[in-house]
Structure 1
Amino acid sequence: MREISPFLFLIPLSATLGLFLALRGSSPLYLLILVFFLFFCFIQRSFIKKRIIFITIPFIIYYLNGCLAWNQPLTAYEEGIQSIFGVVQAMPIIDGDTMSLRLKTNLSEVIQVQAFLYERGDQDRLKQLELGDACMITGNLTSPLPSTNFGQFDYQSYLKEQTIFWILRPNREGIQCKKTEGNLFLGLQRWRQAQIRKVEQHVHPEFSGIMNALLFGDRSSIDGDVMEAYQRLGVIHLLAVSGMHVGMIVTMLFYTLLRVGLIRERTIDVLLVILPFYIVIAGAAPSVIRAAIMAMVILICLRLKTRVSPLTGISIVYLSYLFMKPLALFHLGFQLSFLISFGLIISAPIIQKRYVTRFSQLLAVTLLSQCLSFPLLLLHTFELTLLAIPLNLIYIPFITLFVLPLTLISFFLSFSVPYAFNYPLLLLEFVFPFIHQILKICADVRFTSIVVGKPSMILVFAYYLCVFFGCLMWEKGMRGWWKKPIAVLSLVVTIQLVLPYTDPRTKVTMIDVGQGDSILIELPHRKSIYLIDVGGTISFSNEEWRNRIRPFEVGTDIVVPALKATGISRIDKLILTHGHMDHIGGAEALLKTVTVKEVYYGQGSVDGEFERELLTNFARHKTNIKFVKEGESWKDGGATFFILSPNGTEQNLNDRSIVLYMEIEGLSFLFTGDLEESGERRIISNYPNLKVDVLKAGHHGSRTSTTEAFLTLLNPKIVLISAGRNNRFGHPHPEVIERLEEREMVILRTDIFGAIELKFKNKKIKVKTAIEQ
């Protein structure tokens, strides 16, 4: 058995390396992993000479399969306004005034549809859409944007890995659909959709999303704050249908069918028929497919009265899934599901032998699962959750022994018992508001997590080497086995935390916040971190039906993740240039996750209700608030800063913007907020000899800013413009662009390049953009 296990594990690993080479190509890190793999193969002398061919064959087969999948024709469509006919492939998701669905066209291509709903009637009408409905949709077909900020989720790659290359945004009244007849498979999907809608309508909102997640693998109706709490605390995996759910359902059905009189063999046959249908009902996520097929393999072995090792079973499932869907290799759910399953199966004999009590076994399984998953999760969350293990020790038994059984029972009772008498459901509805309140409180406590930033792939590999080393030490079972692995892991974490502080360069990053401003300044060796403005989301309607479960908010969805991706959890100075929402609206999100030592606000009256509330909240968090005006200056980290405006008497809020001049490494920068022409004239008058190397154009490049006289005075080499794509204001104005082009200035715009990073030392500037041109 000791010979078979490593051999079986090396086959899927070999296949993975071959597939990855085909889909992503070679790299220094890939070659390093390949060397480690070959080294591990050759030290297994007991089988290497006889079976090396069986390791080589999967590599070749999956390499060729990956090449075939990647080189297939991409699309038959072109960008622009058009009408496309197809059938609804995935359940439409309606969230307030937005609707998204996937359309399989008559050319057998899948297109992502994203619609804005103009009236309440649109929402009611589109809620009637079902899977399989035939639709003619007229709208603008566009290519999805790549990631527009560093470290941000890449939606374009996510869709491409599912062979989706277009987003269709329908015109008003551009969606015309009709019902169609369906087959058994479509009938199951429609039944699933109907049950999800039924749960949303009749179950308390605090529990309906959880119920749909546990039963049908659908998390679209879980409140945004609740979902964020589950993710930050490391218990989100318990809301995914996986082996625990499948095992419980199979066990319940097995003993129920035996009780009603079926013999053992017929019971197994019935379960083998039911499980494929359950895959569809539970959403067909990778974790569902893996768990269900594994259950089927076990049932077949029981039916044939034969034995197959769990490692053999999981290897067959993994290789089959990956052969049919090669691009699934890059799905986080697929990676975590199979990685943890392989790890637990290989470790199961040791856990069962070494740990006797249920709690000790649960602790071992939880610890191993967290160790296997955290390097991958770091790539997406950028922080280490300190409460993950204790919360899992509490929450896993709670979900397994209490919530999941009662959820299943309450769901089946709902078909025959009135809601008022469905006591299991009433109990869950009573309990979960308290559970979610506790989770949100835990998630908001800052010391429960450590922001470490997005690790490089080299660091991810180093983390997995630490995990592998820890597993080897644990397997030996020596006293104090955990000391060396923890020491090595702590060293790698420390390296990641310290790396930014070793960089001697100054870094200025204009974050892409759409129509707004947010500029991050990191002084050499991160001696200080400044953030100028935080963007903001402007709401134009208060109609209740438009409210979304997970509303987009610039601070929460863009600025905070951008800070976390770079490992920033502390800001020395937050400079809020003026009180418009597109500059300060995202600041509230910082209060939850980032320590702000000092806030600079322009001298003058604070008239806006949001401004007053925001500054009050910062004061409650012990943040020093300083009102600044023209003439103030300070030095920090080798840089000199001057406030050139406001003087405190301005009536126009834009002209009250804080204008900050920075000089460092022989280079000068001017950050102007929303300064307009009258404010620029005052600066020209007060500072007639002012010159800068880099100018942040005022008011997003509007016509009333960045005037001829201002440019003549400053004569910048580089001009930064922060503006939203296709914004309704027409920013930046063509006249402004023309002025800059006439002077042959380098123009860097967020609406074209996404986030823009300037790194410089000794007067040499290196420009990096999120969207490469």
Structure 2
Amino acid sequence: MKLPAVAIATAFACGILLGYLSFTSSLLATPFWFRGLFLLSLFILLIGVEFVRRERLQAALASAVCAWILLGALAVRIADRPLPADHVLAFIQKGELELKTPLRWRGRLRDEPRRLPWGYAVDIDLAQVNYQGKALSTRGGMRLGYEPTIPAAALADFHAGDEVAFTAQARLPAVFRDDGAFDRRDYLAQQGIHLVAPLRAAELTERLKPAPKTLRVWIARSRAHLRMELDGMLAGAPDAAGVLRAMLLGDRSFVDREESKSFQATGTFHVLVIAGLHVSALAFFLHFAARALRLSRGLTSLFILALLIGYVAVVEVRPPVVRATLMAAVVVLGRAMFRRLDLLNSAGMAALVILLVRPLELFDASFQLSFLAMGCIGGLAAPWLENTIEPYARALRGWRDVTRDAANEPRPTQFRIDLRALDRWLASRLPGILGARAGGGLAALTAFGFRVWEIFVLSLVLQAGMLPMMAKQFHRITLSGPVANLVAVPITGILVPLGFLTLGAGLAYQRLGALLGVPLAWLTHLLMRMVLWLAHFSGWSYRIPGPPWWTVAWFFAALVALAVLLRLGKRQATRVALVCLALAAGVIASYPFAPRLTVGALEVTALDVGQGDSILVILPRGKTMLIDGGGAFAGFRGEENYAGPDPGEDAVSPYLWSRGIRRLDVVALTHAHHDHLGGLIAIVENFRVGSLWIGREVAAPAFARLEQLATERHIPIVHEASGASFDRDGVHGDVLWPHTAGKEPAGPPKNDDSLVLRLVYGKRAILLPGDAEKDAEQEIVAETPGDALRADVLKVGHHGSRNSTTPEFLARVHPSLALISSGADNPYGHPSPELLERRDRWRVLAGVVLRRVSRGPSSRCLNGSATSRSRAEAPELARSQWPLGIRGSSCIGPRKRHCLRAHHCEPETSGGKRAVRAARTLQTLRRSGRGARLLHGA
């Protein structure tokens, strides 16, 4: 077998998949089956050895595959161990530790304090926490963030390895619980970070013991010193320093968000992630240096391996770097033993080593993309190049030497003969030295053209081969990748060795480092300008929903078939496989599927966007309206100075894509505070938008940027004001506020600018007041006659603050359900205690469920005569415990989301019995600790 490592790694991966199934997992949980299957795998391996001894290789191969599949299933059980009893998360899960108040922690600094755009952060390996007068020994990781007001000098005495004590209120990393949303908590857990906490003052941290002199501490301090050295050499070009931090040291903290989007849009983001390209460039540079030093083959291999291992340690042991270094090590060791290894076999060996150490790495997107890239290069690009230009590229070596013609195939040999003839002709026609050098120049130009074509083919194959993964994981299709990488890859191949050479020179002699930093900064700016220029071409990159599983299976089946047929040299079958692959790629890239919507009902979904607001409205015949896009709060003037998670990109967009939505007919902004506006920038960039609705024009940078983006994309901007109405898909909508919607800025944004909408479908209504406060509510109540304010569902104004949702307003609205969009640990205490206490004064209401939207999207479907609710909204309640007498059957079910259409919403019992049921439901919700509240009156 030519690819034994690939076969073994594939079998082991299949075993991991098998072990991950619920049936197999429950089976292996019993010691009897676990030990039995382990002994069986050893027995099969022994049988395989006997088959090898008898030279029955096919039977030996089958035995080995079966044994590795069983070992893979067992590895999952070993890797998927529960948390240790003293882990900080185990204490929290068991209720033995609560994070409601600041606590005194002890631990050891994992790294040097790291400078970030907003301040400083340091990672700490926890050792102890004082809780309720007891010192609990614990383990786990915490990221401690220093407020920007704390001076950098206060951190000067803290270094990697120091044992410290500090007082901080820790919390679990915030996550958005919408379908498809980025899971930041899991992302940090993979880095060993389980809690995060802000440090309010430097005096709250105490250094207990200095760091011991260990190799780990020395590496951590060297890493910090390299970052400082790089920043110092490029102090005049901070944007270039941020990109080089990412390319050389793996720190993307200072890459601007817009720059990051440009790299993503052009398919060149991989140059910012240390992986195969960077490790290959560094290994090639080290090989060149070893040859210049005239080292032997063995010493060259040791030299390269030692420095690559040191590089992995300096940039931290990140999975992509480890994978690339393992593959480089396999190639280097193969050359040292005079063996030429197949690229696929090298990738198989690296994958097997990683999966043996960390079996669950198989489910990591980074792992999948890395080895899919290697598979595309080794299985498609390498055979393609070998059958086209590679024989001619090899024929250029020593092309003037006639004695080497016999070492080439007939066509490349003829190519050498023609090149020599052309050289003689040019020499006879051109004068002097020009004629003597013409042939060499022509050969060099031809070799350069071959290398350009090679980069283009590699980029094209990689972009095409990773198409399903990019669409599934990142919802992006990039068409400019092959062209952009023609420039990005060579520049990166120069920047990486030049960057490390500059760092080394700067450490030895500062002026020399500053001198080399000039061309380094120039090349970096060249790369950035090229990427930015290509990113401006609209249509070359666009966002789509993730493809259905069967299209992905179709694509990869055709891809594997094409790779196998290329190796076998089956030309006709290769063409058929190529056509099948192209068809699958076309289906994935175009996404011709209808969105998954509720037909014949008005659906309203309040999305989990943390502390902001975002509401998706789907009309009965499929028209879509998004009201606000969430966003982290960045001041009441709508500034853009926040650089944290973007709810529009990380929560709202993934949820819309999870339902197959590519177009939003209306995007409405209630008002220009950043917790409503911030995410809409990403929404307008990611989706086709029919029109943008706004109320008052205000003076705010983020608001101006949103309007500018809408104008650039030819999106009509509609100014809505009270008195306006619309009718779409059988739904009547009224704009109740604000009074004026002029095009002249009316000063800084405020809550009472909010666009207030009331949607009516049949006999049911929904009221969406944005952040309107009591002044606006009083005017709305005074100006709206009769039952024109009545609504079955109310989105509570201003996240449940005490200045909104007044008793008079509630009495007029008379909702059956009230939704509060307020994340956990709200810095302003929303929802306010005053609002929650008002339930005792709401005598006019028979029962109101108050749902806090902080644990996933909350959906409501109105079919014109009844209201239904999402089961995900209160998962701790059995159906019989749901208030308001709602019964239901599933009407749609994309993944975790179930929207139930109610048979009826009338009370099943008398008012007194329903009040008792409401009280019991309130107790259940309180016991669950999930933030929901039930408000009711007598």
Q: TM-score, normalised by structure 2?
A: 0.71
- Say which of 617, 623, 640 aligns to 2:732: 640
| Partner Cα distance (1:325, 1:116) in 2 | 33
C-alpha change, 1:468 and 1:635, in structure 2 (3 Å) is farther
Larger deviation, residues 157-166 vs 556-565: 556-565
Assess if the C-alpha contact under 8 Å between 2:767 and 2:793 holds in 1: yes
Distance 1:433 1:147 in 2: 35
Q: How does 1:45-444 map to 2 (within 5 A)?
A: 49-74=59-84, 76=86, 77=88, 78-80=97-99, 81-90=102-111, 92-106=113-127, 109-117=139-147, 119-121=149-151, 123-126=152-155, 129-161=158-190, 164-170=193-199, 172-173=201-202, 174-177=204-207, 179-203=210-234, 204-306=237-339, 309-347=342-380, 350-356=383-389, 357-400=450-493, 402-419=494-511, 422-444=514-536
Q: Which of the numbers 11, 16, 20 marks the counterpart of 2:13?
A: 16
By relative contact order (CA 8 Å, sep 6+), the higher-ranking structure is 1
2:849 to 737, 746, 750: 746
- Matched with 1:514 is 610
2:850 & 2:809 partners in 1: Cα distance? 16
Deviation at 1:700, TM superposition (A): 1.9
What is the CA deviation profile of residues 170-190 of structure 1, one whole-angstrom value per residue up to 9, with x for unaligned ones? 453333335413323432332
Shift of 1:695: 1.1
Supply the RMSD in Å over aligned alpha carbons: 3.8
- Do the aligned partners of residues 344 and 91 (structure 1) sit closer, same or farther apart at CA in structure 2, a change above 3 Å counting? farther
Distance 2:608 2:479 in 1: 31
2:518 is matched by which residue type in structure 1?
L
* Per-residue Cα deviation, 1:222-261 (whole angstroms, up to 9, x for no partner): 2232222212322111233333333333333334334434
User: What SS is found at the alignment partner of 1:661?
Assistant: strand
Aligned-partner residue type, residue 688 of structure 1:
G
1:571–1:597 Cα contact (<8 Å) kept: yes
d(CA) in 1 for partners of 2:708, 2:125 = 51
Say whether 1:687 aligns with 2:804: no
Q: Is the 8 A contact 1:506 1:521 kept in 2?
A: yes
State the one-letter code of the partner of 2:253. S
Q: Quote the Cα distance in structure 1 between the aligned partners of 2:616 and 2:820.
A: 14
1:589-619 CA-partner distances (Å, limit 9, x unpaired): 55544454433333x6757676577556645
Assess if the C-alpha contact under 8 Å between 1:754 and 1:771 holds in 2: no
Equivalent residue for 2:130? none
Q: 1:505 to 1:406 in 2, by over 3 A?
A: farther
Partner of 1:30: none
Question: Residue 111 of structure 2 contacts residue 221 of structure 2 at CA under 8 Å; is this kept in 1?
Answer: no
What corresponds to 2:767 in structure 1? 670
1:570: Cα distance to partner?
4.1
Distance 1:520 1:643 in 2: 17
Which blocks of at least 5 consecutive residues in structure 2 are unaligned?
Answer: 25-55, 89-96, 128-136, 390-449, 877-938
Kindly provide the CA deviation profile for residues 690-720 of structure 1, in whole angstroms up to 9, marking residues without a partner as x: 4322111122222233233333333322211
Please show how residues 439-450 of structure 1 align to structure 2 within 5 Å: 439-450=531-542
Q: Give the TM-score taking structure 1 as reference length.
A: 0.85
Question: How far apart are the structure 2 equivalents of 1:299 and 1:659?
Answer: 66
C-alpha distance in structure 2 between counterparts of 1:89 and 1:56, whole Å: 42
**Segment drifting more, 436-445 vs 228-237:** 436-445
Residue identity in the other structure for 2:785:
Y
Matched residues, number: 745
Q: Is the 8 A contact 1:371 1:467 kept in 2?
A: no
**CA offsets 1:481-535 (integer angstroms, 9 cap, x no match):** 5444222332344456434479665442223333332222233453x32222334
Contact 1:444 1:592 (C-alpha < 8 Å) held by counterparts = no
The DSSP-based 3-state class of the residue aligned with 2:666 is strand
Contact 1:760 1:766 in 2 (8 A): no
Q: Distance in 1 between matches of 2:222 and 2:759?
A: 62
Distance in 1 (alpha carbons) for counterparts of 2:608 and 2:350: 42
Equivalent residue for 1:33?
none
For the residues of structure 1 that align with 2:297 and 2:571, how far apart are their CA atoms? 41
Contact kept? 1:161, 1:330, Cα under 8 Å: no
| Contact 1:351-1:361 within 8 A present in 2 as well | no
Amino acid corresponding to residue 144 of structure 2 in structure 1: Q
Aligned to 2:811, what secondary structure does the other structure show?
helix
Letter aligned with residue 369 of structure 2: L
Query: 1:582-621 counterparts in 2 under 5 A?
Result: 582-590=675-683, 592-602=685-695, 615=707, 618-619=710-711
1:387-426 CA deviation, whole Å, 9 max, x = no partner? 22221233222322x3334324333332445447755431
User: Which whole-Å CA distance do the structure 2 matches of 1:587 and 1:327 have between them?
Assistant: 36
Report the equivalent of 2:904. none
Partner of 1:36: none
Alignment CA distance shift 1:325-1:606 (3 Å): closer
> Does residue 530 in structure 1 map to residue 625 in structure 2?
yes
Provide the C-alpha distance between the structure 1 equivalents of 2:373 and 2:682, rounded to a whole number of angstroms: 33
For 1:196-242, what per-residue CA distance to the aligned partner results, in whole angstroms no more than 9, with x for missing partners? 22102221212223333333333233223222221232211123333
CA contact (8 A) 1:452 1:496 kept: no
* Inter-partner Cα distance in structure 2 for 1:613 and 1:359: 39
- In structure 2, which of residues 806, 813, 820 is the aligned counterpart of residue 714 of structure 1? 813
| Matches of 2:63 and 2:597, distance apart in 1 | 48
Give the AA of the match of 1:113. Answer: R
CA distance in 2, matches of 1:761, 1:619: 36
Q: Structure 1 355/414 Cα, relative in aligned 2: closer, same or farther at 3 Å?
A: farther
Cα distance, 1:295–1:587 mapped onto 2, change above 3 Å: closer
Deviates further, 59-68 or 261-270: 261-270
Encode CA deviations 1:445-493: one digit per residue, 9 max, x unaligned: 4422222124455554454345445546766444865444222332344
Aligned equivalents of 1:244, 1:69: Cα separation in 2: 30
Quick one: distance in 2 between partners of 1:281 and 1:766?
Answer: 52
- Summarize the Cα distance change of 1:606–1:502 in structure 2 as closer, same or farther, 3 Å threshold: closer
Residues 759 and 766, structure 1, Cα contact 8 Å, conserved in 2: yes
Equivalent position amino acid for 1:757 in 2: S
Letter matched to residue 187 of structure 2 = Y
8 Å CA contact retained: 1:662, 1:670: yes
In structure 1, C-alpha distance between the alignment counterparts of 2:697 and 2:173, rounded to whole Å: 43
- Larger deviation, residues 382-391 vs 13-22: 13-22
Structure 2 CA distance for partners of 1:771 and 1:170, relative to 1, 3 Å: farther
Distance 1:770 1:220 in 2: 36
Deviations 1:674-700 (A, max 9, x none): 233444444445332243221111222
Of structures 1 and 2, the larger Rg is shown by 2
Distance 1:589 1:441, change over 3 A: farther
The amino acid across from 2:98 in the alignment is E
